[in-house]
Amino acid sequence: MRRDLVERALDLARMLRSLLPGDPEVASLLAHILLTDARRRTRVSDEGRLLLLADQDRRQWDRPEIEEGLHLVAEAIRKGRPRRFALMAAITAVHADSPSWDATDWEELVGLYDLLLDAWPSPVVALNRAVAVGFAAGPAAGLAALEPLESEPQLTTYGYLASARADLLRRLGRIPEALVSYQEALAFTENEVERSFLAQRITDLKRQ
């Protein structure tokens, strides 16, 4: 992470908020940044290893940022039908407000992604929705939701599509197929921390 860029983004969002205090999308944008930034201490272990959301220590999340973000989300939603940034912030809020990974309300997240897809049709949003479906209804359902996205031109070299498919296949016990997808994800990923994570997943699966 570039901490200087995050702080600059927060400064700009707060400036917009001061200039447009009644705009729900401005409030939502600030909320989304705050709720995302609140997890900054737990994304990577002390050894530099990627930590998935399920493995993060939520006690280390920045509670003041979360409380401010939740307040802004609630304010934005009270002002009428939520638009793109309000829905993005609401999705982030569900994760931030959940006391544990197991307590995550995946059905609510699928519903929010449905609304976001309606407000902002995007293959990346559809991919995130498929991941949420995979936790709400099981990996087979997630894989079925992912299948129509395989032909999306925008996702052809998008590493997160391959890694999402790989994880769903792994959870289904389809190890040879999962390995192929993890290797595809590794080929499309440049971030070294993510590459290390994917390489370790491939090593672990080969041992099974």
pLDDT tens for the chain, 208 residues long, are: 788 999 999 999 999 999 999 999 999 999 999 999 999 999 999 999 999 999 999 999 999 999 999 999 999 999 888 999 999 999 999 999 999 999 999 999 999 999 999 999 999 999 999 999 999 999 999 999 999 999 999 999 999 999 999 999 999 999 999 999 999 999 999 999 999 999 999 999 999 8
pLDDT at 117: 97
What's the rounded Cα separation, in Å, for the pair 120 and 122?
6
pLDDT at 1: 72
pLDDT at 2: 83
Residues 6+ apart with CB under 8 A from 11: none
Which two tokens mark 178? 């999962």
Residues 6+ apart with CB under 8 A from 183: 202
Q: What CATH fold (topology level) applies to the domain 105-208?
A: 1.25.40
User: What residue spans in the chain does CATH classification 1.25.40.10 cover?
Assistant: 105-208
Q: 79 to each of 28, 120, 135, how far by Cα in Å?
A: 11, 19, 31
pTM over 0.85: yes
pLDDT at 153: 94
